[in-house]
A and B are shown apart, each in its own frame.
Chain A
Amino acid sequence: MTDISQELIARVRQASHDGTSLQIMGGGSKQFMGREPIGDPISLSEHKGIISYEPIELVLTARAGTPISEINSALAEHNQCLAFEPPTFNGQATLGGTLACHLSGPARPWSGSIRDHVLGIRLINGHAEELRFGGQVMKNVAGYDVSRMQAGAMGTLGIITEVSLKVMPKPAATVTIKQEMDAAKAIETMNRLSGQSKPLTGACWFDNHLYLRLAGARSAVDSTVNQWQGAALEDTDAFWSTLREQQLDYFLDASSLWRFSVKSSAAHVLPDEDWLFDWGGAQRWLRGDFTADKLEALAETAGGQVSLYRGGDRSQEVFHTQSEALQKLHQRLKHAFDPNGVFNPNRLYSWM
Chain B
Amino acid sequence: MNQSLRPDKAALVELFRDFIEPQYVINDEETQKPFECDGLSVYCDMPLITVLPKTVEQVCEVMRICYRYQIPVVARGAGTGLCAGAMPNPDGVLLVLSRFKHILDIDPLARSARLQPGVRNLAISEAASPYGLYYGPDPSSQIACSIGGNVAENSGGVHCLKYGLTTHNLLKIEMVTVEGELITIGSEGLDSNGFDLMALITGSEGLLGVITEVTVKLLPSPEKAQVIMAGFDNVQTAGDAVGGVIAKGIIPAGLEMMDSPAIIAAEAFAHAGYPTDAQALLLCELDGSEAEVQEQIAEVEQLFIELGATTTRVSQSEAERALLWKGRKSAFPAVGRISPDYYCMDGTIPRSQLAHVLTEMQKLSEQYGLRVANVFHAGDGNLHPLILFDANVPGELERTEEFGSRILELCVKVGGCITGEHGVGVEKIRQMTIQFNDQELTQFHAIKHAFDPIGTLNPGKGIPVLKRCQEYRTLDRPQHKHDSQPQQGDLA
- Seen from chain A, the residues whose Cβ lies within 8 Å of a Cβ on chain B are 54-59, 79, 102, 108-109, 112-113, 115-116, 125, 127, 129, 131-133, 135-153, 157, 168-170, 172, 188, 191-192, 194-199, 216-220, 222-224, 260-266, 279, 282-283, 302-305, 307, 319-320, 322-323, 325-326, 329-330, 332-333, 335-337, 348-349
**Considering only CB atoms, which chain A residue lies closest to B181 in the complex?**
A325
Query: Which B residues are in CB contact (< 8 Å) with A220?
Result: 288-289, 291-292
Among A137, A146, A169, A305, point to the contact of B447 (Cβ < 8 A): A146
- Near A by CB (< 8 A), chain B positions 434-486 give 435-437, 439-440, 443-444, 446-451, 462-463
**Bound complex: CA of A271 vs CA of B424, how far in Å?**
51
- Given A141-B420, A307-B193, A323-B183: A197 and B223 interface contact (C-beta under 8 Å): yes
Contact (Cβ within 8 A) B289 A194: no
Among A142, A150, A262, A348, point to the contact of B418 (Cβ < 8 A): A142
**Bound complex: CA of A198 vs CA of B289, how far in Å?**
7
**Bound complex: CA of A133 vs CA of B220, how far in Å?**
33
**Bound complex: CA of A308 vs CA of B194, how far in Å?**
13
Contact (Cβ within 8 A) A140 B110: no
List the 6 shortest-distance A-B pairs measured between CB atoms, nearest first. Answer: A304-B189, A303-B188, A148-B199, A169-B249, A219-B291, A139-B420
Contact (Cβ within 8 A) A216 B292: yes
Contact (Cβ within 8 A) A261 B189: yes
**Bound complex: CA of A266 vs CA of B107, how far in Å?**
11
Query: Which B residues are in CB contact (< 8 Å) with A127?
Result: 439
- Given A139-B381, A149-B196, A195-B133: A113 and B190 interface contact (C-beta under 8 Å): yes
**Considering only CB atoms, which chain B residue lies closest to A129 in the complex?**
B439
Among B167, B204, B220, B415, point to the contact of A148 (Cβ < 8 A): B167
**Considering only CB atoms, which chain A residue lies closest to B243 in the complex?**
A56
Q: Report A108 CB to chain B, min CB distance, Å.
A: 6
**Considering only CB atoms, which chain B residue lies closest to A112 in the complex?**
B168
Query: Which A residues are in CB contact (< 8 Å) with B306?
Result: none
Q: Identify 11 residue pairs between A and B in the complex whose beta-carbon atoms are under 8 Å apart, listed by A's number.
A: A137-B348, A140-B417, A143-B436, A144-B448, A148-B167, A152-B192, A195-B220, A262-B187, A263-B188, A265-B109, A325-B181
Known: A169-B246, A195-B131. 15 other contacts (CB 8 A): A113-B191, A129-B443, A131-B443, A139-B348, A139-B380, A141-B156, A143-B432, A152-B191, A191-B109, A217-B289, A217-B291, A224-B289, A304-B189, A305-B191, A320-B192
**Considering only CB atoms, which chain B residue lies closest to A307 in the complex?**
B193
Stretch at the interface among B55-63, B67-75, B158-166, B357-365: B158-166
- Near A by CB (< 8 A), chain B positions 330-365 give 348-352
Q: Determine the main DSSP class of A at the interface with B.
A: loop
B92 contacts A by Cβ under 8 Å: no
Query: Which B residues are in CB contact (< 8 Å) with A265?
Result: 107, 109-110
- Given A146-B447, A329-B450, A333-B447: A152 and B194 interface contact (C-beta under 8 Å): yes
Contact (Cβ within 8 A) A219 B289: yes
Query: Which A residues are in CB contact (< 8 Å) with B490?
Result: none
Query: Which A residues are in CB contact (< 8 Å) with B192?
Result: 152, 261, 304-305, 320
**Bound complex: CA of A196 vs CA of B62, how far in Å?**
43
**Considering only CB atoms, which chain B residue lies closest to A222 in the complex?**
B291
**Bound complex: CA of A58 vs CA of B243, how far in Å?**
10
Query: Which B residues are in CB contact (< 8 Å) with A218?
Result: 295
Query: Which B residues are in CB contact (< 8 Å) with A131?
Result: 437, 439-440, 443
